[in-house]
Amino acid sequence: MPPEDLGLNTPELRRYVQRVSDRWPIEHALIGGARVDDARGALPQRERGPEWVVVLISSFFDGIPWLERVYQAGALWDAAEMGGAADVHAYTPLEFERKRETLRPVRDAAARGLDLFAAGRAPGQ
């Protein structure tokens, strides 16, 4: 389901991915977390977890220390505009495959989150 149909701030989500793409070309951008679950009708009596989980995947992250990518990508998130902080993950495709198996937030974003590129045009297009 497109993020527009869920009532999410899709223009800002796409602007965020574009800001990150200005530094590193992003191949996939997965958005998950409590806000996406809320929009999909999850019951309020649950453990919420992070409000937003952002998983950015790019071959261009190769050679860049993980903490540096996460810090820079996280600094570009507009928490005021999005109504909450984001738990940002930035991986190469190979790292993503490993982390999807070992980290629950990444696995959940991959399984139940939104792929912003699948839901519309990729940044820069």
For the chain, list the strands marked E by DSSP.
28-32, 52-57, 86-91, 114-115
- Decide the pairing of beta strands 28-32 and 114-115: antiparallel
Give the mean pLDDT of the chain: 88
Domain ranges of the chain: 3-40+48-115
- Structural contact between residues 93 and 59, judged by C-beta atoms closer than 8 angstroms: yes
pLDDT tens digits, 79-124: 999 989 999 999 999 999 999 999 999 999 999 899 888 754 444 3
**CATH fold for the domain made of 3-40+48-115:** GMP Synthetase; Chain A, domain 3 (3.30.300)
Q: What is the mean pLDDT of residues 34-51?
A: 81
Instruction: Give the helix/strand (H/E) hosting 57.
Output: strand 52-57
Query: Of all residues in the chain, what percent carry a pLDDT higher than 90?
Result: 65
pLDDT, tens only, 50-59: 889 999 999 9
* Residue 70 pLDDT > 70: yes
